[in-house]
Amino acid sequence: MMGEDEARDAMAQMQATKDLLTEGQRIAYVGVVRLEVARLVEEAEDVEATRKTKKEVSTAAEAVKMWGQKMMIRLYSHMDISEAEQLMIEQLAEHGVMPGDLTPALHANSRVQNPMAKEKDSADKEAQSPGLGAAVEKAAEAPPPYEAFESSEVPQAQTPSQLPTTD
């Protein structure tokens, strides 16, 4: 059984993970999950059944559908998706949207603050004794933002001997 601290850490981690995504990325992520759940339900419904297995196959397909609905409710709640956005996401598969149509939003690089680091820094300061705090180290500057590449072409692979050196 998971301890109270471990559960709180898991919840904090889930919240921190959600906070790393922009609103567009959250919608894209939930949309991809919804499309995959719809695909799983469709596959479960398409399983060929004989007269003997028809009831079991039908029950299994219904179980997959119910599981998918439960997961989507949890995901909508966790990601703070509005009712209007939920309706839009639920209709993606009907409109022929594919997961690949949504994933470009998830490929964006960005630099974000680490919320767990703030908590650790404040805990470290509290644990420090007054006599040791005289030599406070200045925090390093934040690195520059990622550069976006103009094209989506992947550069040609190089062997180690072809790579530039820093002599």
Q: Using one digit for the tens of pLDDT, what is the confidence trace for 1-15?
A: 556 666 567 777 778
145 in a domain, yes or no?
A: no
List the domain range (segments joined by +) for residue 77. 24-107
5 in a domain, yes or no?
A: no
Judge whether 6 and 83 are in contact, CB under 8 Å.
no
Confidence (pLDDT) at 134: 47
pLDDT digits (tens, 9 = 90+) for 50-97: 999 999 999 999 999 999 999 999 999 999 999 999 999 999 988 999
67 in a domain, yes or no?
A: yes
Confidence (pLDDT) at 108: 77
36 in a domain, yes or no?
A: yes
| pTM given for the model | 0.61
